[in-house]
Structure 1
Amino acid sequence: MTLSVSTGRAVDLRVQPVDRVLDRVERSLGARLLPETVVRKRRSVGARTDRHTWVRVERRSLDKIPDQGWNGTESAARLQGIAQPEWLGCVVWQERDTDDPAMWRADETELLPGAPVGNAIVSEAPELPDTWWEALNASLDALAAQQTGRVATPDTVTITQDLVTGSIHDVFSDDVHTTVERWAPAHADLNWANMTAPTFSLFDWEDWGNAPLGLDSASLWASSLAVPALADRVRRERRSDFESRDGKVMTLFTCSKILGPHAHPEDPRLEPARSMAEQVMKELQVR
């Protein structure tokens, strides 16, 4: 594969040519990708196959691959008690002849049991039965109770105490106490585009690993803020996370991403995030 990218140029697979990449995936996996099903995102491309499975192809720069590797979907296959598509196999290769060294990975899984609930950030409330919320809670609780040596990489950045503290203090007061007390396994990219309905299933496990308790709940809340009733439902369903000290830190952490230097002035989440941040800061400010 010879996708040429100049140094410093961001790769966006929504616009970059990927035909030769997909040809290589087909040859390696021995399956045909159905062109009419191709879904292109910024750093991944997915498609159904002629054997009724799903293939997700991701490109990642070498400096975005941590020491633990980037086999999140593969390693998540051993997790118990979580509704997720079964992992079937993969192919990995390095992109050599380019100014921006990178790795490609294609993971094949069973098909999802339904369509994604919505976009990463929703503008209207999805219709979800109580059984869906019960399945969400069961999966997140089961995930947090397990053990792993992986460290979560939300937005492909390894999460650390320094990252949490720096992100919060860059946007809010330095007086806010940000020390994380409990770390637990998290999906680390929990939003409405990575879950299905009406049958609940959680997918795209590339970034999962240990993270501050409450990261997933806070991330889902943040992606719901444009719909206040939905954001409130998330807080009710995941109340134990939000009421914990670490959950409050993660709420502030997600607010810092919304309100930080790259905030869009027309983002409907700005005001509710600012209001919640002010409330949480009062609860965390005592060192």
Structure 2
Amino acid sequence: MNGYLAAEPQTDPDATFRNFQRHNVGRAADHFGVTVTGTPSFGWRLRTIGTPVDGRHGACWLRVVSEEPQWAQGHAWTGNLDGNTITTVHKPRVLDVFEWPERDWRNQRAELMTLMPGEPCSSTDVLWTLPNVSAAWWRDLRQSVDTLAVIPTERTYADQVRVTDRIRTRFGDTVDTTVTHWATAHSDLHWSNLMRPDFGILDWELWGTAPEGTDAATLLCHSLLVPTVAEQVHDLFADRLDTPSGRIAQLNVAARLLNRIDGGDYPDLAEPLHRHVRTLLI
């Protein structure tokens, strides 16, 4: 076993599942003929694991997602590979894919992809400190979001029915949720999916059509613990956020995050997010 994939003591269910994910990476690395060259990192609720590898393509990134069978399908399951059609935004490219079942319990999907230079702007989705990025980085962010917005796709992240249900379930039936402008969005544009010092965007599972302003709204809501950055994000995307569709995009993102908070994620974000929502519901 590669030393980077050594098992940890199985002291609790999470430790057991991390070891399972390390085993999955080892199996995928053997399939692709690559060598793990760094310590793996785990994604949200351990459903993904990723690690640097080296092989015939040179330095790459190996990512494995593990899902229950009913979720191992659809746009989110193939989002990274589908994203290969996007060539005008700085992002990873999937080189190869390998899928296998773990009996009838889980399905795994391994993706070997190009390695992005630099590091994520944050180790967490929510920003806690200044991101230490350049003015050119901010310009590249705006240009990339604008470029993506007009790329045609049949993929859908959030349609009118989903937007209305999510917002009204959280904020009440009287909220006007009519979206008049739609755009292609990354749909998970938070700080651990953004690279520095050179700009780049990771994790394209969810990209697709969404209310215009969704990416700006997502980044804004994940920035609220650092008010100066939240203000900078707002100013950069004011023409997308300060519109009827932009308001709905923000409410949709906020509802999604509040659902996550109810499940135990991002507890410190709850109060600033509620304050932000109140400004949108006036």
TM-score, L = length of structure 2: 0.85
The partner residue of 1:18 within 18, 21, 29 is: 21
Residues 41-60 of structure 1 mapped to structure 2, 5 A cutoff: 41=43, 42-51=46-55, 52-60=59-67
The DSSP-based 3-state class of the residue aligned with 1:189 is coil
1:58 Cα deviation after fit: 0.7
Partner of 1:38: 40
The partner residue of 1:29 within 29, 32, 44 is: 32
1:65 Cα deviation after fit: 3.9
**In 1, distance between residues paired with 2:140 and 2:205?**
21
List alignment gaps of at least 5 residues for structure 1.
1-9, 153-158, 283-287
Residues 97-246 of structure 1 mapped to structure 2, 5 A cutoff: 97-98=103-104, 100=105, 102-118=106-122, 119-152=124-157, 159-246=158-245
**In 2, distance between residues paired with 1:181 and 1:277?**
20
RMSD across aligned C-alpha pairs, in angstroms?
A: 2.4
- Alpha carbons 2:217, 2:241 under 8 Å: kept: yes
1:27 Cα deviation after fit: 2.1
Matched residues, number? 263
Task: Kindly provide the amino acid, as one letter, of the partner of residue 67 in structure 2.
Answer: R
Distance 1:65 1:11, change over 3 A: farther
Identity of aligned residues (%): 28
Partner of 1:84: 91
Residues 61-80 of structure 1 mapped to structure 2, 5 A cutoff: 61-68=68-75, 70-80=77-87
1:190 Cα deviation after fit: 0.9
Task: Kindly provide the amino acid, as one letter, of the partner of residue 51 in structure 2.
Answer: A
1:178 Cα deviation after fit: 0.4
List alignment gaps of at least 5 residues for structure 2.
1-12
More helix by share: 2
Which one has more relative contact order, counting CA pairs under 8 Å at least 6 apart? 1
The DSSP-based 3-state class of the residue aligned with 1:230 is helix
**In 2, distance between residues paired with 1:71 and 1:227?**
33
1:256 Cα deviation after fit: 2.4
